[in-house]
A and B are shown apart, each in its own frame.
Chain A
């Protein structure tokens, strides 16, 4: 199987396009409700500074932590390839990896349209000149655009992303929402703070790099200005520790 093979449910990855001025599409929100359990969690972050072994270890970390997960898990909705066309694993591959071993969960993605969409090779859709593609391992992707001509920054989908989790919690009977941060930059920092302010359980993975490490260090030093007590630090060597936290907050049902 190639890194470009679609492995979403029923061999499809549904692409739903939303204009940022318009409301969230009901169709995308309904895709989230396919999950067997009404919980949702967003994996935020990046892989800057990570080598191939680090990325492999990252995927294994989440595989262990999320064993038995039956909710909705989602992330950035893109996939990267190396110069030979092989998978260059990113945080955005975590939902698909978790879904592959947990068939009752739903993997989704959201991404802003940062450039003109284009078809390459055998009519394959890519999102920019760097070959960034819609991630084919998730069930559906929400592509947020600023009108037909506009281009958004990489944080252009965050309002829609957090809006979806708000609506799932308020109207869809989802009893838990949360965010996990691995590595990442300013956008990841923003996602962590949005989650913390909502009172959702929020986890930063210490040792994963950049924003996650910075937040973890500030929290442990007591210099992070947050009044809530819903922000937790987990070491990247301790996937079982994350798993136990996910169980204690009801994201995963204990056996």
Chain B
């Protein structure tokens, strides 16, 4: 596993962080991918395969990546990781040393310091607890104030602001990649498409990604949204066409050099 020691930042909503903004620009390429969605109703087979799906698709990635920043661990066996979309960036990061990953976590409750890590969410109904993911370059914890927690939407709202700053002031290209997802993901899709920024929906991943990928009227009125099939090659081709990865020939030449 990675030897990265994540830096943890805490901020109130509405504040800016120069440190985080600058550290994101240390990625080799001026591109930022926001990975969003979920794993609801995912089959056991999907849960096993989706890490390699993205790892292969993003091979050679050297931009910034924004994601949920958490990990779910089994309550009975803390070494057992519950598959989730937030596991994807650390797998990509293992193979891509020139990228920078930032997890954005809304502080929706008090945080508990435990032997398993910083627990950000836990309920009696769930068989898992949610901790800050240990494998990321930086993690940004967002709250309204020390006494007032944030809501889950704060994650994508923060990511939208970071992306806007990178696009407007540092000449970054951006892409929202959507895999599965529910109500919060839907609000992020709509907020991103409204701004005219590029969006890639993974067809076959489930729920909201599928719903919008099959909505021909939505796709027709939003030319900034494209649909990729749930296979590495197809996702990769879309990443290249959006400028998130260099063209294959160029990449091969660079790797040989």
Chain A residues in the interface with B (C-beta under 8 A)? 14, 23-31, 33-34, 167-168, 171-173
Interface centre among B16, B17, B166 (most CB of A within 10 A): B16
> B16–A33 contact, CB under 8 A?
no
Kindly specify which of B19-27, B193-201, B231-239 makes contact with the partner chain. B19-27
> A24–B169 contact, CB under 8 A?
no
Residues of B within 8 A of A167 (CB): 18-19, 22
Closest beta carbon of chain A to B99's beta carbon, Å: 14
Residues of A within 8 A of B170 (CB): 30-31, 33-34
The residue of chain B having its C-beta at the shortest distance from the C-beta of A27 within the complex is B169
Tell me if B171 counts as interface (CB < 8 A to partner A): yes
**Bound-state Cα–Cα, A28 to B169, Å:** 7
Closest beta carbon of chain B to A103's beta carbon, Å: 13
> A34–B171 contact, CB under 8 A?
yes
**Bound-state Cα–Cα, A33 to B21, Å:** 10
Residues of B within 8 A of A172 (CB): 22-23, 25-26
> A29–B22 contact, CB under 8 A?
yes
**Which one of A14, A23, A34, A171 lies within 8 Å of B22 (CB-CB)?**
A171
From DSSP, what is the main secondary structure of chain B's interface residues? Answer: helix
Closest beta carbon of chain B to A169's beta carbon, Å: 10
> B25–A26 contact, CB under 8 A?
no
Contact code string B7-44 (vs A, CB < 8 Å = 1, else 0) = 00000000011111111011000000000000000000
**Which one of A14, A26, A34, A173 lies within 8 Å of B21 (CB-CB)?**
A26
Contact size range, B: 10 to 19
Closest beta carbon of chain B to A239's beta carbon, Å: 31
**Bound-state Cα–Cα, A173 to B22, Å:** 8
Question: Knowing that A25-B16, A30-B25 are A-B contacts, what are 14 other residue pairs whose CB atoms are under 8 Å apart, sorted by A's residue number?
Answer: A24-B18, A25-B18, A26-B20, A26-B165, A27-B168, A29-B18, A29-B22, A30-B21, A30-B165, A30-B169, A31-B169, A31-B170, A34-B169, A172-B26
Closest beta carbon of chain A to B13's beta carbon, Å: 15
**Bound-state Cα–Cα, A24 to B22, Å:** 12
**Bound-state Cα–Cα, A32 to B165, Å:** 13
Residues of B within 8 A of A25 (CB): 16, 18
Interface centre among B23, B165, B166, B169 (most CB of A within 10 A): B169
Residues of A within 8 A of B26 (CB): 171-173
Residues of A within 8 A of B19 (CB): 167, 171
Residues of A within 8 A of B169 (CB): 14, 26-28, 30-31, 34
> B168–A168 contact, CB under 8 A?
no
**Which one of A14, A26, A34, A173 lies within 8 Å of B18 (CB-CB)?**
A26
Closest beta carbon of chain A to B112's beta carbon, Å: 29
Residues of B within 8 A of A26 (CB): 16-18, 20-22, 165, 169
**Bound-state Cα–Cα, A198 to B171, Å:** 30
Q: Which 4 A-B pairs have the closest CB atoms?
A: A172-B22, A30-B169, A173-B26, A171-B22
**Bound-state Cα–Cα, A14 to B165, Å:** 13
**Bound-state Cα–Cα, A31 to B21, Å:** 11
The residue of chain A having its C-beta at the shortest distance from the C-beta of B21 within the complex is A26
**Bound-state Cα–Cα, A29 to B170, Å:** 9
The residue of chain B having its C-beta at the shortest distance from the C-beta of A25 within the complex is B16
Closest beta carbon of chain A to B248's beta carbon, Å: 25
Residues of B within 8 A of A34 (CB): 169-171
**Bound-state Cα–Cα, A172 to B171, Å:** 15
The residue of chain B having its C-beta at the shortest distance from the C-beta of A167 within the complex is B18
**Bound-state Cα–Cα, A14 to B171, Å:** 14
Residues of A within 8 A of B25 (CB): 30, 33, 172-173
Residues of A within 8 A of B18 (CB): 23-26, 29, 167, 171
**Bound-state Cα–Cα, A198 to B26, Å:** 22
**Which one of B21, B168, B171 lies within 8 Å of A29 (CB-CB)?**
B21
Residues of B within 8 A of A33 (CB): 22, 25, 170
**Bound-state Cα–Cα, A172 to B170, Å:** 12
**Bound-state Cα–Cα, A34 to B26, Å:** 11
Closest beta carbon of chain A to B64's beta carbon, Å: 12
Residues of A within 8 A of B17 (CB): 26
Residues of A within 8 A of B166 (CB): 30
